[in-house]
A = this chain, B = another copy of it.
Amino acid sequence: MTRTRPRQGRPRHTPPSDPNASGREQILDAAGALFVEHGISATSTRMIAERVGIRQASLYYHFATKDEILAELLATSVRPSLEMVERIQALVPERASAAAALYAVAATDVRTLSRTPYNIGTLYLLPEVLTERFDAFRADRGRLQQSYGALGASAAADGVTGSIPPERIGELLIQLVEVVIQIRRTRDPDPADTDAIASSCLRLCGLGETAIATARDEARVLLTGLA
């Protein structure tokens, strides 16, 4: 049985042996596996080409450098969340409460990180990713963190905003959501994890259980409308 797949809108995770994957997708997949398994420095474009079963010249047709491949992989771990965050933030406060928006953003981000090929988020702490070659990725991640800070500070109880400035709330919230990277090292995240993480974000902002339940319901309606 053959499946056809539209050329635009490639899926976020291409299984390694998918015969329908494009050359570009196969390269990203092979590179993801190698980066996560061996690290960035120890992975060469030659190794990536060999794993796909193509010549290095063919790889260069799609990507000029190894860094370009890594940059695209890193982008898959943050871009889908960032796009959704912008749409969600635009609804606050008229059509959505800050608490519901924060729940929706956290749940979206958990799902994005749950789907990255080979749990690519494990590369976040690598020294190579700190260099200016990956400024675009770090700028994206910085914008995501700012959104967490802004929504968190709007949603938060006075006792919290009085003691923690918004940028630090953003640091704490993005860190909390990234627990899914750690979870994936030992098990597949499930919907209970998504709710536990998103509701923990609201608790961290000082919200009580009744307010959290309201925000959860509102966020689900919101996400259904945006899907």
User: Which residue in chain B gives the minimum CB-CB distance to A145?
Assistant: B182
> A181 touches which one: B36, B125, B164, B179 (CB < 8 A)?
B125
A-B contacts, 23 listed (Cβ < 8 Å): A38-B41, A38-B127, A39-B39, A39-B40, A39-B42, A39-B128, A41-B41, A122-B125, A124-B125, A125-B125, A125-B126, A130-B185, A157-B209, A159-B209, A163-B195, A168-B193, A168-B196, A171-B179, A172-B196, A175-B178, A175-B179, A203-B205, A208-B208
Q: Does A200 contact B (CB under 8 A)?
A: yes
Report the separation of the CA atoms of residues A181 and B122 in the bound assembly, to the nearest whole angstrom: 14
Query: Given A127-B37, A203-B203, A209-B206, does the pair A179, B172 have CB atoms closer than 8 Å?
Result: yes
Please report the C-alpha to C-alpha distance between residue A40 and residue B40 in the assembled complex, in whole angstroms: 11
A70 at interface, CB cutoff 8 A? no
The reply to whether the CB of A160 lies closer than 8 angstroms to some CB of chain B is yes
Q: How far is the CA of A222 from the CA of B193 in the complex (A)?
A: 33
Q: Which single member of B172, B179, B203 contacts A197 (CB below 8 Å)?
A: B172
**Beyond A39-B39, A176-B176: 9 further Cβ-contacts under 8 Å?**
A42-B42, A122-B127, A124-B125, A171-B183, A172-B179, A172-B196, A175-B176, A203-B203, A206-B209
- B196 in contact with A163 (CB, 8 Å): yes
Residue-wise, chain A 145-170 has the 8 Å CB interface mask toward B (1 for contact) of: 00000000000010110011000100
Given the known interface contacts A125-B124, A203-B203, the answer about A175 and B171 at a Cβ–Cβ threshold of 8 Å is: no
- Count A-side interface residues using an 8 Å CB cutoff: 43
| A204 interface hit (Cβ, 8 Å) | yes
Does A39 lie within 8 Å of B179, measured CB to CB?
no
Task: Point out the residues of chain B lying under 8 angstroms from A26, CB to CB.
Answer: none
Give the docked Cα–Cα distance between A95 and B23 (Å).
64
Interface residues of A in 176-227 (CB under 8 A from B): 176, 178-179, 181-183, 185, 193, 195-197, 199-200, 203-206, 208-209
Who on chain B is nearest to A181 by CB? B125
Q: Given A122-B127, A179-B172, A181-B125 in contact, is the A203-B42 Cβ separation under 8 Å?
A: no
